[in-house]
Amino acid sequence: MNWTGPVGSLFMATALATSASAQDNWSYSGSNGPNSWGSISSVCANGSMQSPIIMEGTEAVLLNRLETNYNVSPVDMKNDRRTIRFDYAPGSMLRVGDKTFELTGFHFHTPGEHRVMAQSFPMEIHFDHRAADGTQARVAVLVKEGSANMAAEELWPHLPIEPDQTSRRPDVKINARDFMPHSGTYYRYMGSETHPPCTEGVNWYIFKEPVEFSKEQIAVMNGIMGENARPLQPRNNRMILDALPN
Ligand SMILES: [Zn+2]
């Protein structure tokens, strides 16, 4: 009787690993690491507008404010082995000028992926948005070590720590805006998704003001995900706008 449990779980683990590798065989280290992503999607290796990049040599311009009109939402979390995804209920919008995007979710990277001149960050949060025509807008929040983030205090006890684990907590509600800085100044450039398929045409908005998380909060996220940052990519001829909001 005793051996059926372990053998059963071993079989399940093998089946899961096989189906996962057939679908998306990439990771952040080893033979499936970033240097091999071009074999999954050629734009990862050959694209000219890849992300992340360094924010430097920017052009100051007057740009529209990022207007976040987000709802308070219950959290729906999934550990997908590379990050923890927080899916957001429909109906939360980001407006930039006359363009409107819907927030679909957010996720974390440790360490941060973008850099601001010589400064790197221990963590970065990406907020994924999509317009009705499919255009992607990604808002990045850089995280530095400091005092504890109160929204994270509520969420962290419920994080799905095991690979492929999901965590649905209708009783724990958050507003994604609580992970963003107060100041609205940002950098803007055109880039890509920072993981396969590395799709280009992503509108990046990177808040200049970092937010603070405690050392422990950053360590918890890093302990679950490990290192999940793509190396810096060539800027090529792209402009980086330094937005002074109207
Ligand atoms: Zn990301």
**pLDDT grade for 25, boundaries at 50, 70 and 90:** confident
Q: Is the pLDDT of residue 6 over 90?
A: no
**Distance from Cα 2 to the centre of ligand 1, integer Å:** 43
3-state secondary structure 135-178: CEEEEEEEEEECCCCHHHHHHHHHCCCCCCCEEEEEEEEECHHH
Q: Strands 93-96, 115-116: parallel, antiparallel or unpaired by DSSP?
A: unpaired
Instruction: Identify the structural domains of the chain with CATH numbers, from first to last.
Output: 50-245 (3.10.200.10)
pLDDT digits (tens, 9 = 90+) for 37-55: 999 999 999 999 999 999 9
On the question of pLDDT at 16 being above 70, the answer is no
pLDDT digit string (tens) for 68-120?
Answer: 999 999 889 999 999 999 999 999 999 999 999 999 999 999 999 999 999 99
3-state SS, residue 187: strand
Report strand pairing: 136-145 vs 99-109: unpaired
- Integer angstrom CA distances of residue 241 from 32, 124, 205, 244: 34, 20, 10, 9
Phi, psi at 39, each rounded to 5°: -80, -15
Q: What would the mean pLDDT of 177-204 be, rounded to a whole number?
A: 96
* Rounded Cα gap, residues 122 and 229, in angstroms: 10
Q: What is the pLDDT of residue 246?
A: 60
CA of 31 to the centre of ligand 1 (A): 21
**Distance in Å, CA 143 to ligand 1 centroid:** 13
Alpha helix ranges (H) inside the chain:
4-23, 43-46, 150-155, 215-225
Ligand 1 centroid to 61 CA: how many Å? 26
Please give the distance, rounded to the nearest whole angstrom, from the Cα atom of residue 109 to the centre of ligand 1.
6
